[in-house]
Structure 1
Amino acid sequence: MHSAALLVFSLLIIFGHGAKEKPELSEEIKEIIQHVHNECVDKTGVAEEDIRNCENGIFKEDVKLKCYMFCLLEEGSLVDDDGNVDYDMMVSLIPEQYTNRVVKMINACKHLDMPDKNKCQRAFDVHKCSYAQDPNFYFLF
């Protein structure tokens, strides 16, 4: 369970590092990313183009995209039964060299994760804010 969370969130961070240059990934990691991606695309029906556009700061107001973002957290085991994201767990899983940058991003954005909004909107708002905080460090797969 924790390895999936580690993988999903670490990849969000690692992919974002260094002006959006994708690192070389092992076949095993590529397969896991592809699996999580496919699972969430199947569940939500989101358009691939809408996912890719987020890296360029284009966050389409679309329920499918919003729920795709939440699905990644769910598939990564970073959400409890009530739909609350465990930000402390997220931070604990991040490789040390990225911790300060990620903590800064999360602390600047997690206030947008308010219980009065639905879970998909909350995930979307945090993603959009994260991009605004550190565009070169943000990646969505």
Structure 2
Amino acid sequence: MKLFLEFFILAVTAVCMITAGRPDFVTDEILEMVASDKARCMKEHGTTESMIDAVNEGNMVNDRAITCYMYCLFEAFSLVDEDGTLEVEMLVGFLPENIQASAETVISFCSEQSADDVCDKMYDTAKCIADKRPDLWFMV
């Protein structure tokens, strides 16, 4: 369970690196642990692997199939509150130690986005993080 939570936390700052490859801290074991929630969230929101791949290649689109999928994953692991605000301390605590301090600054800043609903807020938050620190963003 701890490893599963670590993945989600990493995947948010790190459900999510705008590059073609995944970061080293998102291991195969983590991907296996989140597979069932990923499949559930994809099904609930009509998300495809090609949409996820596009985001990881730097094409962050404001499409509810992606934004609600992101919220679904974070919510599954208690990494967001009911208003869609990231649980910064929890998320940062699972990142590699060498990036925690700088990541906390960016994630704290970006988590203060305001939007009409949790899916829009997730887009604004994700876009902010990806723009400021692409090395923290990888979507599973």
- RMSD (CA atoms): 2.9
Identity of aligned residues (%): 26
Residues 19 and 56, structure 2, Cα contact 8 Å, conserved in 1: no
Q: How far 1:95 sits from its partner (Å)? A: 3.1
Task: Name the counterpart of 2:27.
Answer: 25
Normalised to the residue count of structure 1, the TM-score between the two structures is 0.77
Residues 1:98 and 1:18: Cα distance change in structure 2 (over 3 Å): farther
Task: Name the counterpart of 1:104.
Answer: 105
Residues 38 and 73, structure 2, Cα contact 8 Å, conserved in 1: yes
Residues 41 and 68, structure 1, Cα contact 8 Å, conserved in 2: yes
Write the distance in 2 (CA, Å) between the matches of 1:134 and 1:108: 12
> CA deviation digits over 1:50-104, x for unaligned, max 9?
2111122212221111100101111122233455432222223333222023213
Write the distance in 1 (CA, Å) between the matches of 2:19 and 2:43: 30
Residues 80 and 86, structure 1, Cα contact 8 Å, conserved in 2: yes
Write the distance in 2 (CA, Å) between the matches of 1:66 and 1:29: 21
Write the distance in 2 (CA, Å) between the matches of 1:45 and 1:17: 22
Residues 1:110 and 1:25: Cα distance change in structure 2 (over 3 Å): closer
Q: How far 1:123 sits from its partner (Å)? A: 0.7
Residues 7 and 31, structure 2, Cα contact 8 Å, conserved in 1: no
Pair member with larger Rg = 1
1:111 aligns to what SS in structure 2? coil
Gaps of 5+ in 1: none
Write the distance in 2 (CA, Å) between the matches of 1:9 and 1:53: 21
Task: Name the counterpart of 2:53.
Answer: 52
- The answer to whether residue 3 in structure 2 is matched with residue 10 in structure 1 is no
Structure (1/2) with the larger helix percentage: 1
Task: Name the counterpart of 1:39.
Answer: 40
Write the distance in 2 (CA, Å) between the matches of 1:33 and 1:95: 19
Structure 1 residues 88-103: aligned runs within 5 Å: 88-103=89-104
Indicate the larger mover: 78-87 or 39-48: 78-87
Normalised to the residue count of structure 2, the TM-score between the two structures is 0.77
